[in-house]
């Protein structure tokens, strides 16, 4: 295990502990998806954005410069979140911290599952994981960071609207 691995794992786990939603509706999915698209456009990032709840895709947007490969990556990363109830980046980092890779040791089909950053669990207080928000098109750490930034801002917006 590398010296920075425990810190990185703790940082990723903390993100999931903090980014818990009070609820998650169809309208929330639309707002979160639009926010992720807005953040991507601010960064001039060619990404595809997907927001799912259960087995239903509630939001999907492919920005200019993306391809169907981005859709496939999102599906593969979302399956990892659904299976492990953790972000696709955290799952991949856990395997790497053990000195292996997800592809070598998960025994899952890499054509269906990808433990690369960019898919994040949508966890609701008192319920657990209800869906997945994902981004594909940037290097995996940047995909992950974009989703975390979007969820952080989304939660801030929810808290502000509830306070007024």
CATH of domain 5-163: 3.30.450.150
Confidence of residue 161 (pLDDT cuts 50, 70, 90): confident
pTM: 0.93
Evaluate if residue 1 carries a pLDDT over 50: no
- Mean pLDDT computed over 131-145: 98
Q: What is the pLDDT of residue 158?
A: 87
**How far apart are the C-alpha atoms of 140 and 91, rounded to whole Å?**
12
pLDDT tens-place string over residues 31-77: 999 999 999 999 999 999 999 999 899 999 999 999 999 999 999 99
Q: What is the pLDDT of residue 19?
A: 97
Share of the chain above pLDDT 70, in %: 96
The DSSP annotation for the chain comes to --TTHHHHHHHHHHHHHH-EES---HHHHHHHHHHHHHHHHHTT---EEEEEETTEEEEEEE-TT--HHHHHHHHHHHHHHHHHSS-HHHHHHHHHHTTS-HHHHS-S-TTT----SSEEEEEETTTEEEEEEEEESS-HHHHHHHHHHHHHHHHHHHHHHHH-
């Amino acid at each position: 295990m590398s010296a920075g691995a425990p810190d990185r794992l703790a940082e990723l786990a903390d993100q999931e502990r903090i980014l818990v939603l009070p609820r998650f509706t169809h309208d929330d999915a639309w707002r979160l998806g639009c926010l992720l698209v807005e953040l991507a456009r601010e960064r001039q990032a060619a990404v595809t954005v997907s927001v799912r709840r259960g087995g239903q895709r509630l939001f999907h947007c492919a920005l200019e410069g993306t391809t169907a490969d981005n859709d496939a990556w999102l599906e593969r990363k979302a399956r990892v979140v659904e299976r492990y109830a953790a972000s696709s980046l955290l799952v991949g980092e856990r395997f790497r911290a053990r000195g292996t890779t997800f592809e070598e040791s998960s025994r899952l089909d890499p054509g269906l599952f990808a433990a690369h950053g960019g898919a994040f669990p949508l966890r609701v207080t008192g319920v657990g994981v209800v869906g997945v928000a994902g981004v594909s098109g940037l290097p995996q750490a940047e995909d992950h960071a974009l989703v975390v930034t979007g969820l952080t801002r989304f939660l801030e917006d929810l808290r502000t609207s509830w306070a007024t």
